[in-house]
Structure formats: structure tokens, C-alpha cells
């Protein structure tokens, strides 16, 4: 019994704190209400300022208790989890709870019956019986067996496990679903570690429920039974002794815990520091390798390790000393009760069997009494953990379906931005009065300096964020009035830095359309000019791509991302610098594939290499969040503005005649001054120039 209690009290209590997990929380501490990551702190800075993330949660909890008007209303806030933890129709869960309930009751009954039976046998022996009391022995054996771990409690323990895990699964599912449906601001503003930890706090709620249902309630029952039973065995004074010992015990153990808090905090800090060195150095192993700093890092880690050990020893000294003290209180209490009981037997007031029953009973109730303070401490820690989960669940997505949102009715894929304003942070406007219309099936390209807001224009179309002013519509339906899912279903996005799941190439491409056949996937890969690369890998389509696709080159990653969009058969395609990482031959292949596949689809392209978008139906030049020029390639060249400047920089061409007046009919002449490689890319230019057919002439020098 002591051993069991020791296990329950010692490691769990002090080490259940998520010391390492706290490390992951150090970074994202900003809770800004704007779309902004401006307040994000660098990791090391965050660490210094937020040494103990639990402290912050504790303060938050105190504030919330205050705001809600006390602990009861505060705790009521957690009832939002109840339908997920205890779903009414989960008969397996309720059966397990019922079995565990029965187990708790039978445990209590046998706590009394077994010592009592031993007392009866002792009394018979004391009376000098000469026959074996087989019936009593049989009963004792039965009680003893039934109350042991191989008796009914075997089912009780298993039912407890099933109930706990089912409750936990319900809350985890709820939290995960909630996080998945939060907006992009939430996901870009927080570290994935922090989000994961918050979701995992589902376990803390579970503990809370388990504590209340299966631990605290039985302990209260134990105390009531103990007081009643010892009064029955001896007299009421014995109950007073037990209550007194219990109170002193609780007071002492609380005092010991408080005293140990500082030691625990130091130990937690040192452990975090050691963990931090370990992860940082492993993550930056290549830097260490190239700077030949292995020995330096091993030494640094060794120092942190020893620091942690010293802190741990100090903490454990305090803890073990504390345990010894509280155990002493318990032993003094037991001695007092024991002497009192013997005195009653000696005085002939009670039979010796009662003494035996008492001693046996003491050992069964000692653990529950001791566990009160443990449960109390666990309750406060668990509540703080659960606070994190509550905070997560209370976070409402900034972008959500309107109450009367309906599915988007796709017609031709016309995209219209009307006077769109947007800011991630209200202090810094990003898009200003952006207006344009792209007819269904057209290709529109966005060019402009880095950071001018091109990707942001894309993000708004997928409703990663909502516009600050103006509106965006698809086929004349304001995207805020349609369901987010129906909108994203028709959009295919190839990001700047595509990331893949650590699965096979086949599975990654199938992510675009879950029911795609292998043959369809291969076709998409052919169209994206990646098929030949894939079949060249030793495992072909079954090659696993590594975390985020690290085993693939940038160009391969981009083409697989393109294949994913192709297989998705999206109606509106967003290409964010989709061909920036491929060589000119591959780029030409991709361009060809896209030309075929973008037929009938509205395509929005961001490109820094202008040669890739000369055939676009419209080109928008974005600068500082505004569209400063628009038109076809030829029209923009004719304007000889920003676009012409960019074109000139990239291709080395210069306008020789009629430049700058924007009059298309004056027959501008461009002189192209480019290397053979540039000419290769600009080959598209020649064709496009004639395609756009505005009577422009592109001459090659030399
Ligand atoms: N999640 C975000 N939170 C805060 N600011 C952001 C966020 N994303 C982008 N920004 C800022 O918005 C501005 C426009 O960024 P955007 O990514 O739209 O530019 P871009 O024109 O696509 O640039 P690039 O060509 O380099 O991709 C930048 O100043 C950027 O720092």
C-alpha cells in the first residue's frame, strides 16, 4: 500500500508538469487581436521574458475567476466540454463508468469486511477455540481475493482505462477539429508546438473528471466510512484522533509542498535550459559541423546537464525530507490510535479482534487520507492545464461562415476585387483600393517588387483573411456570403514554398483528390513534367519524400505541388511563383502543361520572371499594395512605366523609339540586349509579342 502511494505521490506530482513542453511555448506569446505577427518575439527573447509559461496561465486563470465572479461560475465554463467527454449515446463509456462505480463501492465494502473478518477469527482464537473456524477462514479468503487486483477490481481498472481514454478522445477530437477550423491568423501567429500542447491538454480535463469521479468522491466516502467504522470498533474518541491526524497531515503536506516550490522551479528552469541546448544543437548540427564546434557543444551540454542534476538533487532532498516529515505525522497518529485501542482492549472494553480489525483497516484507509493533499495539488495543476485548452476553445475564428452562408454556385469562374483594402495589422495597411476583374477562364498575372502584397491578394481570394474594406466576388457572389469549404473546393493553390507530407509521392499527389486513381495521378505528374523524375527514383511513385518534402529538390517540389493542383481539377488556379525553382527547360514544359490545363480555368499567377507571363490576358503591376499599372504585356511595354522597367531589367532590352507616351499605334521599337540564356527565356517574348499582336517589334542586337 505504502509503495503504491509512494509511486502515486512522488514522481507524478512533481514531474507531471510539462516542463519540456513549456519550452515549446516560449516563442509565440503574442495575443494580438489584429492580423499581425509584428509582436512575435524571437525565441531567445521570449524565453527570457516568459520563463514560466504556467505562471502566465495561472494569472490568466485568476483573472478569469475574477471576471466570472468566483470559482463556481469559472468552473461552469468547463461544462462546454461535457457533451464531448460524456456523450449521451456512448453506451460503452457509460457501461464502463457504471462498472467502475460498482468497483469503487465494492472496494469500500471490502475495506471494512476484510479487517472485520480477521477480527472475528482473532476473537474466536482468543476465546480458545479448538476447532478450525473454516467458515470464517473461507469468508476471509473470499473477501481477500475479491478485494485484490485479480478480483472484481480487475474489471474496474480496465473499465476505468476505457472510460478515461474515451473521454479523452472526445475532447481531443473536439479540440483538434476546433484548431483545424481556426483562421490563418491563428495558425501563423502561434507556434505549432504551442497549438499541439493546447490540444493535448485534453488529457488534463480528463484527469479532472477522473479526479472528481473516481478519486475525490471515493476518498470522501472513505473518510466517512473510516470515522463511522472506528467509532463502531472502539468509540467516538478514536474518530476524533483520526480526524485530528488527517488535518495535521494535510496541513503538513501542503506546507512541505509550498516550501519545495522554489526548488522545483529552479529544477524546471535547468531542465528547460538543458533541453534547449539539446534541441538547438541537434537542429543546427550542420552549423556545428562546419564550424568544428562539436567539443564546445558537448562541453556546454555537459555543464547544463550537471546544473540540472544539482538542482534535481536539491529538489529531491527537500521532497524526500518533506515526505519523511508527513510520514512521521501519520506514524505518530497511528501510534496514538494504536495505544488508545490497546488500552480499551486491556480495560476489557473491547475484544482483541477489534484491535486487529483496526490495524488492518488503518492500512486500507491510510492511503486515501494521504491522497487528499495529492488530489488537491493535482486539481490545481490540472485546472491550470485545462485553462490552456479552454482558452483555445474560446478562440473564435476571425474568418467563419456567415449564419446564412450557402454553397458557392460556380458558373464561369469570374473573379472580381472591388476597392479592396486590407491590413494584417491596422497600423500597417497592405492593400489599398485594389480593384480588378478577371473573366472566367482568363489568366491574370501579378508582378511587382517583393512585399508589395501580391501573395496577400491570393490569400484574400481563398478567404485566409477577410477584406478590411471593399469586397471580393466569384461569379458575382461575395465570397463572405458563401461557405468557406465550397469556395476552397474550387481553388487550387501552388505556394511559393510547397511542403509535402512525409508520405509517398503517390499519396502526396492524391491529396489533391482523394479518390484519384494511380493512372490519373501519373497523368497529372506527366502534365506537370515530373513523371520522368519520379520513375527515376529507386522507389518510383512509392518514394517517401521526407519531412515537408526535404528529400526533393525545389523544382521537383514545385512540380509535385503543380501535379496536386492538376489532379484536383480546380476551377480557379493560384500560382505563387510556381516556376521560380526550375530550370528553363523544365519551366517551358510546365508552361506548356499549364497552357493546356488552364484552358477553361481562371488562373492567377504571381511571377518574378516576366518571361513566364507574357501571354497572360491581363497583367497587374502591384506596388506598395496598389495596382499601379494594368494591361497586356504589349500594352504595358507601350506604357514604358514600371512594367517596362522591370522587363528591361530582366531581359536587358531597351525601348528605342516612341517610348513613354503609351500610345500603342506609334510603333514602339524594343532593342533586346540579352545573353543566349536570356534569349531562350525571352523566346516566349517573341512569340507573345506577335501573339498579343499590337504591332510591336522585338529586335535582337547582333
Ligand atoms: N501573416 C502576416 N502577418 C503580418 N504581415 C504579413 C503577413 N504576411 C505578409 N505580411 C506582410 O505583408 C506584406 C505583403 O506581403 P506579401 O507576401 O503579400 O508580398 P508579396 O508581394 O507576395 O511578396 P513576395 O513577392 O516577396 O512574395 C509584407 O510587408 C509582409 O511583411
Mean pLDDT, residues 209-223: 74
Distance (Å) from CA 432 to ligand 1 centroid: 14
> SS3 for 563?
helix
Answer for the pair 442, 402: CB distance below 8 angstroms, yes or no.
Answer: no
Residue predicted with more confidence, 174 or 695: 174
Q: What angle do CA 436, 438, 443 make, to 5 degrees?
A: 125
Q: Tell which residue, 436, 439, 444, 434, has the closest CA to residue 475.
A: 439
Q: What pLDDT shows up at residue 691?
A: 34
Mutate to test the pocket of ligand 1, among 448, 451, 575 (most ligand atoms within 8 A of CB): 451
Q: Of all protein residues, whose CA lies closest to atom 28 belonging to ligand 1? A: 451
| Per-residue pLDDT reduced to its tens digit, 174-195 | 888 988 888 888 887 776 666 7
**CA 622 to ligand 1: nearest atom:** 21
Mean pLDDT, residues 368-385: 70
DSSP 613: S
Residues of the chain with CATH 1.20.1560: 2-234+350-394
Q: What pLDDT shows up at residue 653?
A: 62
pLDDT of 9 above 50: no
One-character DSSP codes across 312-375: HHHHHHHHHHHHHHHHHHHHHHHHHHHHHHHHHHHTTSS-HHHHHHHHHHHHHHHHHHHHHHHH
How many CB atoms sit inside 10 A of residue 514's CB?
7
Mean pLDDT, residues 16-40: 34
Name the range with the highest mean pLDDT among 157-161, 414-418, 600-604.
414-418
Answer for the pair 77, 390: CB distance below 8 angstroms, yes or no.
Answer: yes
Distance (Å) from CA 450 to ligand 1 centroid: 8
How many CB atoms sit inside 10 A of residue 12's CB?
12
Query: Rounded CA gap, 153 and 143, in Å?
Result: 12
Ligand 1 is surrounded, with C-beta below 6 A, by 36-37, 188, 424, 430, 450-456
Answer for the pair 2, 23: CB distance below 8 angstroms, yes or no.
Answer: no
Query: In the numeric block, which cell numbers belong to residue 648?
Result: 528591361
> SS3 for 701?
coil
Q: Of all protein residues, whose CA lies closest to atom 17 belonging to ligand 1? A: 455
Q: What global pTM score does this model have?
A: 0.70
| Per-residue pLDDT reduced to its tens digit, 311-347 | 999 989 988 888 888 888 888 888 888 888 888 889 8
Residue predicted with more confidence, 163 or 62: 163
pLDDT of 529 above 70: yes
- Torsion (CA) 138, 140, 141, 145 in degrees, nearest 10: 140
Q: Tell which residue, 360, 342, 359, has the closest CA to residue 351.
A: 342
Alpha helices in 91-152 (DSSP H): 91-126, 134-147
In the chain, what's the furthest Cα-to-Cα distance?
A: 131
Q: Of all protein residues, whose CA lies closest to atom 10 belonging to ligand 1? A: 424
Mutate to test the pocket of ligand 1, among 30, 453, 608 (most ligand atoms within 8 A of CB): 453
Query: In the numeric block, which cell numbers belong to residue 159?
Result: 473499465
- Residue 372: pLDDT band (50, 70, 90) is low
Alpha helices in 490-570 (DSSP H): 505-510, 518-527, 531-536, 554-568
- Residue 209: pLDDT band (50, 70, 90) is confident
Query: Rounded CA gap, 600 and 184, in Å?
Result: 30
Q: What pLDDT shows up at residue 112?
A: 82
Mutate to test the pocket of ligand 1, among 425, 430, 448 (most ligand atoms within 8 A of CB): 430
Distance (Å) from CA 424 to ligand 1 centroid: 9
| Per-residue pLDDT reduced to its tens digit, 44-101 | 333 433 445 666 777 777 777 777 777 777 777 788 888 888 899 999 999 999 998 8
Q: Which CATH architecture has domain 2-234+350-394?
A: Up-down Bundle (1.20)
Mean pLDDT, residues 347-374: 79
Q: Of all protein residues, whose CA lies closest to atom 18 belonging to ligand 1? A: 453
Q: What pLDDT shows up at residue 132?
A: 86
Answer for the pair 413, 602: CB distance below 8 angstroms, yes or no.
Answer: yes
Lowest-pLDDT range, 183-192, 200-209, 300-309, 484-493? 200-209
Q: What pLDDT shows up at residue 18?
A: 34
Query: Which CATH number does 415-631 carry?
Result: 3.40.50.300
**CA 189 to ligand 1: nearest atom:** 1
Mutate to test the pocket of ligand 1, among 398, 452, 497 (most ligand atoms within 8 A of CB): 452
Query: Rounded CA gap, 25 and 53, in Å?
Result: 7
**CA 457 to ligand 1: nearest atom:** 18
Q: Of all protein residues, whose CA lies closest to atom 20 belonging to ligand 1? A: 451
Q: Distance from CA of residue 154 to its chain's centroid?
A: 35
Query: Rounded CA gap, 632 and 654, in Å?
Result: 18
- Residue 354: pLDDT band (50, 70, 90) is confident
- Residue 220: pLDDT band (50, 70, 90) is confident
pLDDT of 242 above 70: yes
| Secondary structure in 3-state letters for 18-51 | CHHHHHHCCCCCCCCCCCCCCCCCCHHHHHHHCC
Q: What pLDDT shows up at residue 369?
A: 66
| Per-residue pLDDT reduced to its tens digit, 532-581 | 888 888 888 988 877 666 667 777 888 888 888 888 878 898 988 755 55
**CA 496 to ligand 1: nearest atom:** 27
Q: What pLDDT shows up at residue 422?
A: 94
- Of the CA atoms within 13 Å of residue 202, those in its CB half-sphere come to 25
pLDDT of 413 above 70: yes
Residue predicted with more confidence, 388 or 673: 388
Distance (Å) from CA 455 to ligand 1 centroid: 7
Q: What is the mean pLDDT of the chain?
A: 77
> SS3 for 620?
strand
Query: Rounded CA gap, 572 and 487, in Å?
Result: 10
Q: Of all protein residues, whose CA lies closest to atom 23 belonging to ligand 1? A: 451
Residues of the chain with CATH 3.40.50.300: 415-631
| Per-residue pLDDT reduced to its tens digit, 429-457 | 999 999 999 999 999 999 988 889 999 99
Answer for the pair 353, 119: CB distance below 8 angstroms, yes or no.
Answer: yes
> SS3 for 685?
helix
Q: Tell which residue, 573, 564, 563, 568, has the closest CA to residue 444.
A: 573
Whole-Å CA distances, 251 to 151, 329, 372, 420: 35, 10, 11, 64
Lowest-pLDDT range, 373-387, 388-402, 649-663? 649-663
Give the pairing of strands 626-631 and 469-474: unpaired
The β-bridge partners of 422 are: 431
One-character DSSP codes across 631-675: E-HHHHHHHTSHHHHHHHHHH--EEEESTTS--GGG--EEEE---
Q: Of all protein residues, whose CA lies closest to atom 31 belonging to ligand 1? A: 451
Mean pLDDT, residues 297-316: 94
One-character DSSP codes across 279-313: HHHHHTHHHHHHHT-HHHHHHHHHHHHHHHHHHHH
| Per-residue pLDDT reduced to its tens digit, 612-656 | 788 889 999 999 999 999 999 989 988 888 888 888 887 766 555
Lowest-pLDDT range, 385-394, 530-539, 579-588? 579-588
pLDDT of 479 above 90: yes
pLDDT of 583 above 80: no
Give the pairing of strands 443-448 and 618-623: parallel
Q: What pLDDT shows up at residue 547?
A: 66
Q: What pLDDT shows up at residue 263?
A: 84
How many CB atoms sit inside 10 A of residue 332's CB?
13
Amino acid at each position: 500500500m505504502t509503495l503504491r502511494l509512494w509511486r502515486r505521490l512522488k514522481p507524478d506530482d512533481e514531474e507531471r508538469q510539462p516542463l519540456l513542453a513549456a519550452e515549446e511555448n516560449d516563442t509565440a506569446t503574442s495575443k494580438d487581436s489584429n492580423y499581425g505577427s509584428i509582436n512575435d518575439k524571437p525565441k531567445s527573447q521570449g524565453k527570457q521574458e516568459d520563463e514560466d509559461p504556467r505562471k502566465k496561465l495561472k494569472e490568466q486563470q485568476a483573472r478569469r475567476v475574477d471576471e466570472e465572479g468566483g470559482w463556481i461560475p469559472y468552473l461552469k465554463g468547463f461544462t462546454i466540454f461535457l457533451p464531448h467527454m460524456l456523450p449521451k449515446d456512448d453506451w460503452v463509456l457509460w457501461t464502463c463508468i457504471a462498472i467502475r462505480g460498482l468497483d469503487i463501492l465494492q472496494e469500500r465494502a471490502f475495506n471494512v469486511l476484510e479487517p472485520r473478518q480477521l477480527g472475528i477469527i482473532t476473537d474466536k482464537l482468543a476465546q480458545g477455540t479448538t476447532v478450525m473456524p473454516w467458515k470464517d477462514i473461507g469468508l476471509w479468503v473470499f473477501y481477500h481475493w475479491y478485494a485484490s487486483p485479480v478480483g472484481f477490481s480487475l474489471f474496474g481498472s480496465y473499465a476505468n482505462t476505457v472510460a478515461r481514454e474515451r473521454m479523452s478522445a472526445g475532447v481531443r477530437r473536439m479540440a483538434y477539429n476546433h484548431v483545424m477550423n481556426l483562421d490563418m491568423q491563428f495558425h501563423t501567429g502561434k507556434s505549432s508546438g504551442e497549438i499541439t500542447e493546447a490540444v493535448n491538454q485534453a488529457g488534463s480535463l480528463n484527469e479532472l473528471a477522473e479526479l472528481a469521479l473516481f478519486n475525490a468522491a471515493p476518498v470522501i466516502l472513505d473518510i466517512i466510512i473510516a470515522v463511522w467504522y472506528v467509532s463502531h470498533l472502539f468509540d467516538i474518541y478514536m474518530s476524533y484522533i483520526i480526524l485530528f491526524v488527517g488535518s495535521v497531515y494535510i496541513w503538513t503536506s501542503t506546507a512541505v509542498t509550498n516550501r519545495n516550490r522554489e526548488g522545483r522551479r529552479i529544477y524546471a528552469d535547468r531542465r528547460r535550459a538543458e533541453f534547449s541546448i539539446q534541441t538547438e544543437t541537434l537542429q543546427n548540427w550542420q552549423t556545428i559541423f562546419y564550424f568544428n564546434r562539436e567539443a564546445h557543444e558537448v562541453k556546454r551540454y555537459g555543464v547544463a546537464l550537471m546544473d540540472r542534476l544539482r538542482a534535481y538533487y536539491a529538489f529531491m532532498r527537500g521532497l524526500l525530507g518533506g515526505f519523511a516529515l508527513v510520514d512521521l505525522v501519520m506514524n505518530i497518529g497511528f501510534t496514538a490510535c494504536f495505544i488508545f485501542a490497546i488500552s480499551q482492549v486491556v480495560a476489557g472494553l473491547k475484544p482483541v479482534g477489534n484491535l486487529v480489525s483496526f490495524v488492518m483497516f488503518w492500512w486500507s484507509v491510510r492511503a486515501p487520507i494521504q491522497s487528499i493533499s495529492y488530489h488537491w495539488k493535482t486539481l490545481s495543476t490540472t485546472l491550470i492545464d485545462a485553462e490552456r485548452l479552454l482558452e483555445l476553445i474560446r478562440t473564435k475564428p476571425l474568418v467563419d461562415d456567415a449564419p446564412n452562408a450557402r454553397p458557392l454556385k460556380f458558373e464561369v469562374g469570374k473573379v472580381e476585387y472591388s476597392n479592396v483594402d486590407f491590413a494584417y495589422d491596422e497600423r500597417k495597411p497592405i492593400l489599398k483600393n485594389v480593384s480588378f476583374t478577371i473573366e472566367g477562364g482568363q489568366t491574370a498575372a501579378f508582378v511587382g517588387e517583393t512585399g508589395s502584397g501580391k501573395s496577400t491578394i491570393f490569400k484574400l481570394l481563398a478567404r485566409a483573411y477577410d477584406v478590411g474594406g471593399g469586397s471580393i466576388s466569384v461569379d458575382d457572389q461575395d465570397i463572405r456570403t458563401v461557405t468557406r469549404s465550397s469556395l476552397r473546393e474550387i481553388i487550387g493553390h501552388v505556394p511559393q514554398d510547397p511542403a509535402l507530407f512525409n508520405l509517398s509521392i503517390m499519396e502526396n499527389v492524391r491529396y489533391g483528390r482523394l479518390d484519384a486513381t494511380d493512372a490519373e495521378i501519373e497523368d497529372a505528374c506527366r502534365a506537370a513534367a515530373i513523371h520522368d523524375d519520379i520513375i527515376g527514383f529507386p522507389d518510383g511513385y512509392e518514394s517517401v519524400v521526407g519531412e515537408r518534402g526535404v528529400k526533393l529538390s525545389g523544382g521537383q517540389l514545385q512540380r509535385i505541388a503543380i501535379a496536386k493542383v492538376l489532379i484536383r481539377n480546380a476551377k480557379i488556379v493560384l500560382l505563387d511563383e510556381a516556376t521560380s525553382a526550375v530550370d528553363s527547360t523544365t519551366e517551358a514544359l510546365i508552361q506548356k502543361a499549364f497552357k493546356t490545363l488552364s484552358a477553361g480555368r481562371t488562373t492567377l499567377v504571381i511571377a518574378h520572371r516576366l518571361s513566364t507571363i507574357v501571354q497572360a490576358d491581363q497583367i497587374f503591376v502591384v506596388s506598395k499594395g496598389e495596382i499601379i499599372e494594368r494591361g497586356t504585356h504589349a500594352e504595358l511595354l507601350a506604357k514604358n512605366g514600371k512594367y517596362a522597367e522591370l522587363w528591361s531589367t530582366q531581359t536587358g532590352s531597351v525601348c528605342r523609339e516612341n517610348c513613354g507616351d503609351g500610345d500603342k499605334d506609334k510603333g514602339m521599337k524594343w532593342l533586346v540586349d540579352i545573353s543566349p540564356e536570356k534569349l531562350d527565356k525571352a523566346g516566349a517574348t517573341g512569340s507573345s509579342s506577335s501573339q498579343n499582336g499590337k504591332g510591336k517589334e522585338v529586335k535582337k542586337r547582333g
